[in-house]
Amino acid sequence: MNLDTFMWILARVSGLSASAALAISLLTGLALRSAVLDWLATNRAVRATHEFTALLWIPLGVLHVIFLLLDSNVRGTLRLIDLVVPFQAGFGSLALGLGSLSLDLFVLVAITGWLRRRINAVAWRWIHRLSYVACALVFLHALLGGSDFSSPQVSAITWSVAAVLAVLSLARVAWGRLSAGESRELRPEPRAELRSEPSREARTRR
């Protein structure tokens, strides 16, 4: 196996791993607003996980691009500018362009995420919503250009995850954010012995 083949393998592996981490990030992000993981954990824990997943998918996504550029076969036809400016590549311009566009959007979302406290809340929210578009573009990029999408093993997992996330995203768009009251109604009622137990705050007050 030569170096180019090795880089090609690493690019594919990092791309698939980045997609998995991105799916977790999207799921936790959706859960924050739709209470879909309310049965599992508090919103605070889900938020912490959502922020943490950026440390997983961003490096993997960067590695995907770096490994591609280290493959001399790809480097010969893909320029650095093609990573930023979409639909200009000499081959596979649609598939690669969708990847470039999603990269641009993710960079924007990541930077504004770190600068959240310095940005107007409404502007930040609208910019952050672009991550839904970016995820859809990543899926199309993988569908049109992914080397492993033709295999049933990979495509079954990817299509299933994408379908779940699409349904949750559409539900989020259709019904908006569940209020705290609705979220509580969805939770199971606490058992009688737990209900009678005084809360930690009450015990502290005593």
Partner 1 sequence: MRGVPAWALKGSAVCLTVLATVGSTAYVGDHVKDRSAPLHPSLRPETEQVTLGPAVGTTTSKPVTETNVS
Contact residues for partner 1, defined by CB under 8 A: 1, 4-5, 8-9, 12-13, 16-17, 19-21, 24, 28, 40-42, 44-46, 48-49, 52-53, 56, 60, 73-74, 76-77, 91-92, 95-96, 144-145, 147-148, 150-151, 153-154, 187-188, 190
DSSP assigned state of 35: -
Least distance between partner 1 and beta carbon 66 (Å): 16
Least distance between partner 1 and beta carbon 102 (Å): 15
DSSP assigned state of 117: G
Cβ nearer to partner 1, comparing 43 with 169: 43
Cβ nearer to partner 1, comparing 92 with 113: 92
Cβ nearer to partner 1, comparing 14 with 127: 14
Least distance between partner 1 and beta carbon 123 (Å): 28
- Classify burial at 111, counting beta carbons within 10 Å of its beta carbon; exposed 0-12, middle 13-18, buried 19 or more: exposed
Distances (CA, A) of 204 to 28, 31, 179, 199: 33, 32, 29, 9
Q: Which residues, in sequence order, are CB contacts of 162 under 8 Å at separation 6+?
A: 139
Least distance between partner 1 and beta carbon 40 (Å): 6
d(CA 106, CA 29): 14
CB atoms within 10 A of CB 6: 13
Cβ nearer to partner 1, comparing 176 with 198: 198
